[in-house]
Amino acid sequence: MIRKDRLGFHFRSGLSVGPYVLDFYCAEATLCIELDGEQHQGRENHDAARDAWLASKGIHVLRIPKLDLFEDTGLVSGRWVREVTRLCEERSGRSSWEPREGTRLRRNDDAF
């Protein structure tokens, strides 16, 4: 979904920010995407404190249940792709179809 800049925004994985490691981070949009699996059950208070700390640094956190990415129809994962794209566009101030400053235009037929 977000690998190889397919949404028009660059994400890094495993980025350390303070005491935390972010699953995926887009610096341009100051957006962190966390894929929550079973290990997050019962850790809601920890996750909320982590999200608050990141918010204090200007980083918005979007938590996506990992199981949503494996459902059969693609409707749920498609909804998440649209939400990530919307947040990136809103937070960066540019459309996903506009090139980032200093980048070349390239053909992007496959969003997934």
- What span, in angstroms and rounded, lies between the C-alpha atoms of 81 and 53? 25
Written as six digits, the tokens of 30 are 């100051």
pLDDT at 61: 97
pTM above 0.85, yes or no: no
Q: Is 76 helix (H, G, I), strand (E, B) or coil?
A: helix
Q: Which residues contact residue 13 at a Cβ distance below 8 angstroms, ignoring those fewer than 6 apart?
A: 23, 24, 25
User: What single-letter DSSP state applies at residue 72?
Assistant: S
Taking the chain (112 residues) in runs of 10, the rounded mean pLDDT of each run is 80 95 96 82 86 97 86 76 94 84 49 36
Written as six digits, the tokens of 39 are 């290990």
